[in-house]
Chain A
Amino acid sequence: MIVIIDYQAGNLTSVVRSFKALGIEGTVTQDPAVVARATRVIFPGVGAAGKAMATLRELGLDQALRQCFERGIPIFGICLGAQIILEGSDENAAACLGLLPGRTKALPRVDDLKIPHMGWNRVRFLKPHPVFKDLPVAAEYYFVHSYYPAPDRTAMVLGVTDYGIDFPSAIGWRNVVATQFHPEKSGRFGLKILENFLAWDGTYAE
C-alpha cells in the first residue's frame, strides 16, 4: 500500500493525480495506523515548518514516520516534506523529525533575486541514485520555496540547484529520498522521478 501522508499542509490533489497517471492509486491518510501498514510513503507538504510539526505530533504521525524509516520502506519527501525530515528548521525555530541529521535554512537574498524561489530550475545531480536515474542534464523542475534542506553530511546531498547559492535540492540517505522541488508539477521528467521511486526497493549504498 502506497500511502500519501495528509497532515493538512497544502493541497495533495496534484500528488494524487501524478501517481494516478502512473497507474497507482495512493492511499491518502492522516491515520498513523494506516501509515504503519504502508509499504511505501509519500510525504508531501507546503507551508510553515512550525505548524506542520505541531499537526504531525497532534495526529501521531511523527512517530509513525519514524517507524517507517526504521522499517526501511521507501520514503519520498516533497518540498516541506524534504525539510522537516531533518532535525530542525530555521523557520519558526522548529524541532523536526530528525530522520536525517541537519537543518532547514532560509534562502539568502542574493543580488536582486526574489524570494520565494518560484519557477523552473535545473538540478545538478552529484551522485547516482536509483530514484534520479535516466534524467537529461537539461531537465528542469518546478520549485516554490523560501527555505531549503541542509543535511550535515555532504554524502546526503544528491543534487544541487543554483539560485544565488548552490543549495541542496535533492537529498537522500538509506531508505529516504526527498526533493525541494515538486516532481508532481515538473512535467514528464518529474513523473519519471516518481516512477523511479515506485520501482525503488529503498536500499542505497553511498
Chain B
Amino acid sequence: MLSKRIIPCLDVRDGRTTKGIKFKNNVDIGDPVAMARHYYEAGADELVFYDITASSDRRNIMIDVVRRVAAEIFIPFSVGGGIRNLNDMRDVLLAGAEKVSVNSAAILEPGLISAGAQAFGSQCIVLGMDVKRVAPSEAIPSGYEMVIHGGRTPMGIDALWWAQEAVRLGAGEICLNSIDADGTQAGYELTLTRMISTTVPIPVIASGGAGTPEHLYEVLTQGRADAALIASMVHYGTYTIAGIKDYLAERQIPVRVAW
C-alpha cells in the first residue's frame, strides 16, 4: 500500500535556512545542507526547499544549495520560489532536485507548466497553489480564489478550476497551500484540500496550518491528501517526524516507518 508522505519544508534566504531555532544534536540550523541531512536521517519522505532569496544573484546561490543537498540525501526533493522559466527549471533539476515547483509564474504564464512537462516530464512539475477563502461568486464558484504575493494579490481565478487546468497542462502534482491556515498552526484547510484532492487525478500535498500530529491525521483522512507539508512543528523541535509517524501508524494511516 502506498504510504502517505510527510514532507518538511525549508525556507532558504541567501543560502541560509530561516527557521529552526531549537535543534539539538549540533545541527547548524542555518545551514540548509545540515538541515536536509538531519531530516533525511530523521525519516522525512521528501523535502521541499522554498527559495525566498531577495538578492540579484539568487539563482547561483540556490543552485549551489541544491547541488550540495543532492550530494548528501537520497530521497526526492523539490525546489520552489523564483522559478520563472524553463532555464530556471533546468538549472534546478540538473543540480539534483527531483521536482520543481511553480506558483505565481504559472498563473501569469500557464504555458510554463506545459513547457516544463514537455521538457522534463510531468513527474518533475509541481504546481504550487496559494489559495484564499472568499464568498462564492460567478467568477469564483468554489469559494476559493488563487492569490499571489503571499496572499496580498487576488487573481480572480477559481482555485478548483485552476487545479484542473494545471492537470490538463501537464502538472504532475499539486502543493496546495491555504493562505488562511498558513502560520496559524491550527490545522489544515480540510474542505479545500478534500475538494481539490478528490477532483484531480494527481497527488495533492496539503500545506498550511500544521501544528499537531492530529492535524496531519485529519488532512490525510478527511482532507484526502496524499502527503502533508510540515514546518514549524518540527523546525522548533516540538515534534519529531518519527513521533508524528508513530501517531499516524497507530491510527492505521500507512506511513514509511523503516529508513
Contact = CB atoms under 8 A, between A and B. Distances in A.
Interface of A: 10-11, 13-14, 17-18, 20-21, 46-47, 112-122, 136, 138-140, 142-144, 162-163, 184-191
Contacts of A120: 2-3, 5, 45, 256
Contacts of B120: 10-11
B139 interface: no
B150 interface: no
**B3, B45, B76, B173 — most chain A CB neighbours (10 Å):** B76
B202 A138 contact: no
Given A114-B202, A117-B2, A121-B3, A13 B259 contact: no
Contacts, number: 90
A116 B96 CA distance: 22
Interface size class of B (residues with CB under 8 A): 20 to 34
A165 to B, nearest CB: 12
A13 B70 CA distance: 9
Contacts of A117: 2
B21 interface: no
Given A114-B201, A116-B123, A120-B256, A187 B3 contact: no
A10 B2 contact: no
Contacts of B93: 11, 13
Interface in B217-259: 226-227, 256-259
Given A13-B93, A138-B257, A144-B123, A116 B172 contact: yes
A145 to B, nearest CB: 8
- Interface core residue of B173, B198, B256 (most chain A CB under 10 Å): B256
11 contacts: A11-B93, A11-B94, A114-B202, A116-B172, A118-B203, A121-B1, A136-B258, A185-B74, A185-B98, A186-B75, A188-B74
A118 B173 contact: yes
A191 B74 CA distance: 8
A43 B159 CA distance: 40
Contact of B74 (A10, A21, A118): A21
Q: Across chains A and B, which 4 residue pairs bring their CB atoms closest together, nearest first?
A: A138-B258, A120-B3, A140-B256, A120-B256
B70 A17 contact: yes
Contacts of A163: 1-2
Most-contacted residue by chain B among A47, A140, A143 (CB, 10 A): A140
B40 interface: yes
Contact of A119 (B70, B124, B226): B226
Contacts of B76: 142, 185
Given A114-B202, A142-B76, 6 more contacts: A13-B95, A21-B74, A118-B172, A120-B2, A162-B1, A185-B76
Nearest to B76: A185
A114 B205 CA distance: 13
Contact of B121 (A10, A13, A162, A188): A10
A152 B198 CA distance: 36
Contacts of A187: 40, 74-75, 259
Contact of B3 (A17, A114, A119, A144): A119
A167 to B, nearest CB: 12
A119 B203 contact: yes
A114 B226 contact: yes
Nearest to A80: B121
A186 B173 CA distance: 19
B121 A46 contact: yes
Nearest to B93: A11
Contacts of B1: 121-122, 162-163
A163 B3 CA distance: 10
B71 interface: yes
Nearest to B95: A13
B5 A119 contact: yes
Given A121-B1, A138-B258, A14 B70 contact: yes
Interface string B71-99: 10011100000000000000001111010
Nearest to A145: B123
Interface string B146-162: 00000000000000000
